[in-house]
């Protein structure tokens, strides 16, 4: 959804400006940023990080993985009504169905496959799990080469297919979240399982 909304503003409306996203949000936005020559800024998880970055960069759009989006010329806060109206206008202006719009997006940036799982963990093991992830420096995960590790908010392993695996403790619930995005659909579950093993939960 976020990538489609960004594409609508960039392609249909012809607007330009920075894109702000949390680190657990799709890398399709990075690909769109390169294609349309606009900067992409990554923040920690939560709109409390996104909103200040929107203001700082006078961003075109800002959003997060949980489905909240804010838009230039409006308030620097989530607005689902505006997001829905923009998506409807995308359909009207192009004459494409939502599925066709998604196909068009994939034609531009390639297919991406995403999954997230949330799992309980023994609270008394929080520090040990944190240390385990801190100490782990995997060179490959599920057959992909690890080309970078982002520890801004949890542990995000950047993979050489353009995908990533992110592991972090929820900031609002006593659970751990495991996120995966990859360009290889058949690798989604394998990457999630690898994340659970990295955290010592398998």
SS (H, E, C) 168-182: EECCCCCEEEEEEEE
What ranges in 58-79 are assigned the alpha helix state H?
none
Rounded Cα–Cα distance for residues 124 and 118 (Å): 18
Output the pLDDT for position 167: 97
Distance CA 47, CA 68 (A): 8
Lookup: tokens for 120: 């309980």
CATH number, domain 2-109? 3.40.120.10
Instruction: State the pLDDT at residue 41.
Output: 98
2-109 and 113-198, same CATH topology: no
Q: Which CATH architecture has domain 113-198?
A: 2-Layer Sandwich (3.30)
Which residue from 134, 125, 161 is spatially nearest to 145, judged by alpha carbons?
161
Instruction: Output the pLDDT for position 172.
Output: 78
For position 185, what pLDDT does the model report? Answer: 95
pLDDT of residue 202: 80
Q: CB of 148 within 8 A of CB of 158?
A: yes
Count of Cβ atoms closer than 10 Å to residue 115 Cβ: 13
- Identify the pLDDT of residue 26: 95
Q: How many CB atoms lie within 10 A of CB 45?
A: 24
Query: How much is the pLDDT for 66?
Result: 85
Could you tell me the CA-to-CA distances from 63 to 109, 156, 166 in Å, in that order? 19, 18, 17
At 174 the pLDDT is 82
Residue 62 in contact with residue 54, Cβ under 8 Å?
yes
Stretch (H or E) spanning 132? helix 126-135
For residue 144, the model assigns a pLDDT of 96
- In this prediction, residue 170 carries a pLDDT of 86
**Regions in the chain scoring below 70 on pLDDT:** none
Count of CA atoms in the C-beta half-sphere (13 A) of 68: 15
Say how far residue 182 (Cα) sits from the centre of its chain: 11
- How far apart CA 29 and CA 122 sit, in angstroms, is 35
Q: What is the pTM of this model?
A: 0.91
Please report, for the chain, the start and end positions of each structural domain, with discontinuous segments joined by +: 2-109, 113-198
- What confidence score (pLDDT) does residue 93 get? 97
pLDDT at residue 173, rounded to an integer: 81
């Amino acid at each position: 959804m976020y990538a489609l909304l960004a594409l609508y503003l960039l392609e249909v409306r012809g607007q330009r400006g920075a894109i702000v996203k949390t680190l657990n949000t799709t890398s399709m936005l990075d690909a769109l940023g390169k294609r349309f020559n606009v900067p992409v800024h990554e923040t920690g998880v939560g709109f409390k990080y996104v909103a200040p970055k929107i203001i700082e960069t006078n961003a075109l759009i800002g959003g997060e993985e949980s489905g909240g989006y804010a838009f230039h010329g409006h308030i620097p806060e989530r607005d689902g009504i505006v997001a829905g109206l923009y998506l409807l206008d995308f359909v009207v202006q192009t004459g494409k169905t939502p599925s066709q719009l998604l196909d068009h997006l994939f034609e531009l940036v390639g297919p991406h496959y995403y999954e997230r799982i949330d799992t309980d963990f023994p609270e008394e093991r929080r520090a040990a799990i944190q240390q385990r992830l801190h100490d782990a420096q995997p060179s490959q995960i599920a057959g992909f080469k690890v080309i970078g590790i982002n520890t801004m908010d949890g542990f995000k392993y950047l993979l050489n297919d353009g995908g990533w695996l992110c592991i972090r403790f929820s900031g609002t619930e006593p659970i751990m979240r495991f996120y995966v995005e990859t360009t290889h659909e058949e690798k989604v579950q394998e990457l999630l399982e690898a994340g659970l093993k990295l955290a010592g939960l398998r």
